[in-house]
Amino acid sequence: MVKFRDYLLIQYKRIFKLLPGILAMIIVVATLLGAAGFVVINSDAYKAEKQRYKLGVVGETDNEMISLGVNMIGSMDDSRFMIELIEYDDVESAKTAMRNADVSAFVVITDEFTDALNAMTNDSKVKYYATSGQKGISNVMMDEIASIATNIIVYSETGICTLRQIMKEQGFSKEIRHEKINDLFMLYISALVLRTNITEITELGLSDGLSTPAYYFAGILLFFMLLLSFCAISFFLGQKNAQYKFMSSKGITSPYQVMAEYIPFLTINAICTAVTMGLIFAVTKMELFTMDEISSAPSFGILNVSLHLIPVCIMFSALGFMIFEILIGVINKILVAFMLYIGMGYVSGYFYPKTFFPAVVQAVGAHLPSGVAFSYMADVLTREDIGMHLLIMAGYTVIFLAVATLVRQQKIR
Amino acid sequence: MIEIKNINKKYGKHQVLHGVDFAVEPGQIVGILGENGSGKSTLLTILAGLQKPEAGFFNMDGKNLLKNTKLRNDLVAYVPQETPLITELTAWDNLRMWYPTNKLKKELKDGFLAMLGIDQFVKVPVNQMSGGMKKRLTIGCAINSNPKLLLLDEPTAALDLVCKERIYTYFEQFKRQGGSLVIATHEVQEIELCDQCYILKDGVLSPYKYDGDIPHLIGRL
């Protein structure tokens, strides 16, 4: 074990010699990811309360009933916070606007719709147009918005038309009819305004029960931790098979070699993660960034999250070590590691909510080391039981180091 | 007395070593000659314990070193063909891994390390060293345990004459102190240093008496 200790110490010495280069890479990566995170969190798209999806309306909006409904949606209903209605004279103009991304979708109110409204039938005559392609968050939102718009227009206006028709048939005068219809308008408006009170909207966030800020925090932080091992790639470049053989001939066999190299590598990654968490702590103290998951529980701070990152750091460092042990050549190491990390991060939902992936991809992403780390972080942030994910990460770490040891053994032979 | 008997080694279906036998007396240099890929390095790595043979014995003074790892690590030193040094660090850092500080200082002052001339570049980082400096430093690291057998894989390939001479001087000194050397080589100067030579061809090791006739040697390889 004396030789192991000496080899460990010399690897520490080696990695600290390489530290300036490693730090330079980490600063570049952290700056890029930090800037990306800042842009995401401060973007208009992120600020849901300020985001309104633009919905085109084409057709018979001159009709007093329809214009009333459209105005109600645009000015009184809660959906006004999500929808901005833009009127178009014809379908072609609306299509052009949609192609130019001026609107996310549009609704065509056909003559048949107006007729159906007047005839008090519930025929589906409103046509809804949306872009095809990937089922993204915009499409999901637009489906919902179209549903809201259709329900409001159809049911509120059908009620009003019904009242007008019945009163007309019963021989009420025009003045009385207008008065009663106005009363009904007010009732509808009151009912719609009440929706604010009768509906409690809870933001569940994008995935894993996390709020949106916590989701992006976890995703970006974990991706940064993946890239940390990539930043320390210089640690793996100077070594050659002759060195492994020589060490082995002196009694430092492959398991000892791997452990003596892995521990300093892990130390550097852990230090860099700690420094990053310190910066995040400073940012949260200045209230430039907050998360409900942390701000709602004063005893559960960034320090607590940082301590829980240690198992992730251990696993990601082992993963990085294994990848760099397997791959040969600088370009290979850099390219393959980067592509692998991007791919793993993507399918594990680091950049895009994984709920939008097909079930199979979701399952694969969840079981990848990156996915397990994400679920673990979600458990940590939501104060759920972390035991199972911790166990899986420990298993992954052992597997990665075992594979690295086998590869090293092969290199020695 | 070092005895190597019936060493067999296969890579897949390819028989690299076939019943290799030879013996080395204390104070002897044995040269292993052969074409590139003939199995010289494989033989040395087996003796260094980096690979396991399918069959065979490697005995030193009656003890089987193939089965006694600790003893082999103490008695046998291996110098690979390429540089096994940690290139970011200095000669001192590399040596310090293998020598206690006091012993290292003493060796650098008047020991084998001084004989190899390592004291002259002890503060130089390995990545700024010449090939000769690296080779001498590698030998210096390898001999920390005062081994009885030194295995060297093409130790002076691509080195300048002065550096070669320095290393040969060290070999002579090592011999005088009762150490044995097994050298895989293509260098005529090294062959001339050897007390016994063997040619490894098609996995079979055959004795060869070098008499300065290089064309004859080439014909045998």
Q: What is the pLDDT of residue A92?
A: 85
**What tens digit of pLDDT does each residue of B145-169 get?**
888 898 998 888 877 888 888 888 8
Give dist(CA A122, CA A144) in Å, integer. Answer: 20
Give DSSP secondary structure letters for A179-196: HHHHHHHHHHHHHHHHHH
Q: What is the pLDDT of residue B62?
A: 82
Q: Which residues of B touch A14 (CB under 8 A)?
A: 86, 88-89
- B2-220: which CATH architecture? 3-Layer(aba) Sandwich (3.40)
Residue B25 to residues A202, A332, B1, B30, B170, Cα–Cα distance (Å): 86, 48, 5, 9, 18
Residue A392 has pLDDT above 90, yes or no: yes
Q: What is the CA radius of gyration of chain A?
A: 30
Residue A409 has pLDDT above 80, yes or no: yes
Give dist(CA A284, CA A145) in Å, integer. Answer: 35
- Spell out the residues 6+ positions from residue B151 whose beta carbon is closer than 8 angstroms to its own: B44, B47, B48, B76, B77, B78, B79, B181, B182
Residue A373 — very low, low, confident or very high, per pLDDT cuts 50/70/90? very high
Q: Chain A closest CA to B89's CA: distance in Å?
A: 7
Give dist(CA A316, CA A322) in Å, integer. Answer: 10
Residue A201 has pLDDT above 50, yes or no: no
For chain A, give the percent of residues with pLDDT over 70: 69
Mutate which of B86, B141, B144 to test chain A, going by most A C-beta atoms within 10 A? B86
For chain B, give the percent of residues with pLDDT over 90: 6
- Whether residues A246 and B80 touch (CB distance < 8 A) is answered with yes
Residue A197 — very low, low, confident or very high, per pLDDT cuts 50/70/90? very low
Q: Which residues of A touch B96 (CB under 8 A)?
A: 6, 10
Minimum CA–CA partner of A238 in chain B: B87
Q: Are A72 and A192 in contact (CB under 8 A)?
A: yes
Q: Mean per-residue pLDDT for A355-359?
A: 74
Give DSSP secondary structure letters for A88-140: ESSHHHHHHHHHTTS-SEEEEE-HHHHHHHHTT-----EEEEE--SS--HHHH
Q: Mean per-residue pLDDT for A311-327?
A: 91
Q: What is the pLDDT of residue A203?
A: 46
Q: What is the pLDDT of residue A135?
A: 46
Q: What is the pLDDT of residue A111?
A: 74
Q: Which residues of A touch B54 (CB under 8 A)?
A: none
- Whether residues B70 and A14 touch (CB distance < 8 A) is answered with no
Q: What is the pLDDT of residue A299?
A: 61
Q: Mean per-residue pLDDT for A106-111?
A: 76
CB nearest B93 (choices: A13, A240, A245)? A13
Phi/psi-derived region of residue B26, left when phi > 0, alpha when psi is between -120 and 50, beta in every other case: beta
Minimum CA–CA partner of A6 in chain B: B97
Residue A85 — very low, low, confident or very high, per pLDDT cuts 50/70/90? confident
Residue A66 — very low, low, confident or very high, per pLDDT cuts 50/70/90? low
Packing angle of the helix pair A330-347, A302-326 (nearest 10 deg): 130
**Backbone angles phi and psi of B78, in degrees to 5:** -125, 130
Q: Are A57 and A88 in contact (CB under 8 A)?
A: yes
What average pLDDT does chain A have?
Answer: 76
Q: Which residue has the higher pLDDT, A284 or B119?
A: B119
Residue A373: which H helix or E strand, with range? helix A369-381
Mutate which of B79, B97, B99, B134 to test chain A, going by most A C-beta atoms within 10 A? B97
Q: Chain B closest CA to A403's CA: distance in Å?
A: 19
CB nearest A249 (choices: B49, B85, B93)? B49
**What tens digit of pLDDT does each residue of A229-255 get?**
777 777 887 667 888 888 888 888 889
Torsion of CA A285, A286, A292, A296, to 10 degrees: 50
**What tens digit of pLDDT does each residue of B16-39 get?**
888 888 888 888 899 988 888 888
For chain A, the residues whose C-beta falls within 8 A of a C-beta of chain B are 6-7, 9-10, 13-14, 17-18, 238, 240-243, 245-251, 412-413
Q: Are A307 and A274 in contact (CB under 8 A)?
A: no
- The residue type of B72 is R
Task: State the first-to-last Cα distance of chain B, in angstroms, to the nearest integer.
Answer: 28
CB nearest A242 (choices: B70, B83, B93)? B83
CB nearest B93 (choices: A10, A238, A240)? A10
Q: What is the CA radius of gyration of chain B?
A: 17
**What tens digit of pLDDT does each residue of B103-160 get?**
889 888 888 888 888 888 889 999 898 888 888 899 888 888 888 898 998 888 877 8
For chain B, the residues whose C-beta falls within 8 A of a C-beta of chain A are 45, 48-51, 69-70, 73, 76-89, 93-94, 96-98, 127, 138, 141-142
Domain boundaries, chain B: 2-220
Give dist(CA A152, CA A73) in Å, integer. Answer: 8
Q: Which residues of B touch A260 (CB under 8 A)?
A: none
CB nearest A248 (choices: B50, B79, B93)? B50
Q: Which residues of B touch A238 (CB under 8 A)?
A: 86-88, 127
Residue A313 — very low, low, confident or very high, per pLDDT cuts 50/70/90? very high
- Spell out the residues 6+ positions from residue A223 whose beta carbon is closer than 8 angstroms to its own: A33, A341, A345, A350, A351
**What tens digit of pLDDT does each residue of A119-168 get?**
656 555 566 676 554 444 455 555 655 666 566 666 677 777 788 888 88
How many Cα atoms are found within 13 Å in the side-chain-facing hemisphere of A76? 17
Q: Which residue has the higher pLDDT, A299 or A95?
A: A95
What would the two tokens of residue A185 be?
């308008």
Q: What is the pLDDT of residue A312?
A: 92
Give dist(CA A194, CA A92) in Å, integer. Answer: 37
CB nearest B97 (choices: A6, A238, A241)? A6
Residue A281 — very low, low, confident or very high, per pLDDT cuts 50/70/90? confident
Give dist(CA B36, CA B57) in Å, integer. Answer: 25
Residue A198 — very low, low, confident or very high, per pLDDT cuts 50/70/90? very low
Q: Are B115 and B170 in contact (CB under 8 A)?
A: yes
Domain boundaries, chain A: 2-42+206-412, 49-198
Q: Which residues of B touch A241 (CB under 8 A)?
A: 82
Q: Mean per-residue pLDDT for A59-87?
A: 64
Residue A339 has pLDDT above 70, yes or no: yes
Residue A391 — very low, low, confident or very high, per pLDDT cuts 50/70/90? very high
Q: Which residues of A touch B50 (CB under 8 A)?
A: 245, 248-249, 412-413
Q: Which residues of A touch B88 (CB under 8 A)?
A: 14, 17-18, 238
Q: What is the pLDDT of residue B173?
A: 87
Burial of A359 (0-12, 13-18, 19+ CB in 10 A): exposed
Task: State the first-to-last Cα distance of chain A, in angstroms, to the nearest integer.
Answer: 22
Mutate which of A14, A250, A410 to test chain B, going by most B C-beta atoms within 10 A? A250
- Whether residues A245 and B76 touch (CB distance < 8 A) is answered with no
Residue A359 has pLDDT above 70, yes or no: yes
Give DSSP secondary structure letters for B15-58: EEEEEEEEEE-TT-EEEEE--TTSSHHHHHHHHTTSS--SEEEE
**What tens digit of pLDDT does each residue of A19-37 get?**
888 888 888 877 887 777 7
Q: Which residue has the higher pLDDT, B76 or A42?
A: B76
pTM above 0.80?
A: no
Regarding the domain with residue range A49-198, which homologous superfamily does it belong to in the CATH classification? Answer: Periplasmic binding protein-like II (3.40.190.10)
